[in-house]
Amino acid sequence: MEEELQEVRDNFYVGNFNKAMQMCESAHGSSELTQSELGATLARCCLAIPQIERLKAMQNSEIPGQRAAALLAVITKSRNEAQVKSAKERLAALAKETQDMSCAMLNAMVLAMDGSWNEAAQMTKAHPVLEMQVLTILLALSCNQVAMAEKLLKDASGNNDDSAAFRLAAAAVKLATGDPEEAYLTYCDLCSQFPAVEGDDSGSGSVLLQTGKALANMQRGMFSEAVEDLQRALAASPNDPDVLVNMCCCMTHLGKKDEFQQYFAKLEQAAPNNDYVLKTQGMANAFTRFKASLEA
């Protein structure tokens, strides 16, 4: 059963959410712990796809990871501040009460989203498994602590270096340390090993992997190739904010103003509160005010 669980984990972490969901639904856990992990992964697939109605039905699930995912859906989707605050408090309490890894992982992500990086890192240390080690590496990179991320990656090696989670963390560290070629090769290998659709040998991979390839190509100065990667990602997920942000960056570097405006307008509509949107709008407003002051 461990092999089957690893396949589920790998497909989930590379972004094959529909495929991972089908695996979770067809697998039969041989133990309570296995059933709990499958159930929690299924719920996280529902978050990613997303399937909000299905998550609502998990609010009172016996599996803690499913209840945690349902709370995270409220935290990320609700516009009611009081509702969001309550969901955060309930998620923190659930993670503390159950000591469940999936609950702790989602709670650490929420803490990181709120800028509580130290608390998020402490939460990951309570569960010394590979997935939590990988999350700690990504937290370090998010704080621009590249040397720390390198050390954490070295500490995590030797447990399951062939797993998708470890290889994705290694690729992220390679991007941060200026080795985009190695990162690109890793993303290509993962695309070939874990096709989004069974039997697809095109090597296109999931939206997440295509975006990773694009990031590596952007670092290599290969913006036209990055656009090709992102176009494949957009074909699969037309409103993905990460894909649209990187498409805007490519158009800026390629000097294609009209195309930039096209993708930025789409991003504004799909994710109006995205940091890139807010900062870009802020810059535009600042220049407008400056111009007005000169004309006054």
Average pLDDT value for residue range 160-165:
94
- Which of 83-87, 113-117, 283-287, 292-296 has the least mean pLDDT? 292-296
pLDDT for 37 beyond 60: yes
Integer Cα distance of 218 and 224 in angstroms: 9
pLDDT for 1 beyond 60: no
Q: How confident is the prediction for the chain on average, in pLDDT?
A: 93
Average pLDDT value for residue range 171-198:
95
Q: What DSSP assignment string belongs to 79-145? A: --HHHHHHHHHHHHHHHHHH--HHHHHHHHHHHHHTT-HHHHHHHHHTS-SHHHHHHHHHHHHHTT-
pLDDT for 79 beyond 80: yes
Average pLDDT value for residue range 128-155:
96
**Predicted local confidence at residue 111, as pLDDT:** 98
Angle between helices 257-270 and 241-253 (to 10 degrees): 160
pLDDT band at 17 (very low <50, low <70, confident <90, very high): very high
For tokens 């000097």, name the residue: 255
Q: Which two tokens stand for residue 27?
A: 């697998």
pTM for this one?
Answer: 0.91
Average pLDDT value for residue range 244-268:
97
Average pLDDT value for residue range 157-177:
95
For tokens 């989602």, name the residue: 106
**Predicted local confidence at residue 2, as pLDDT:** 65
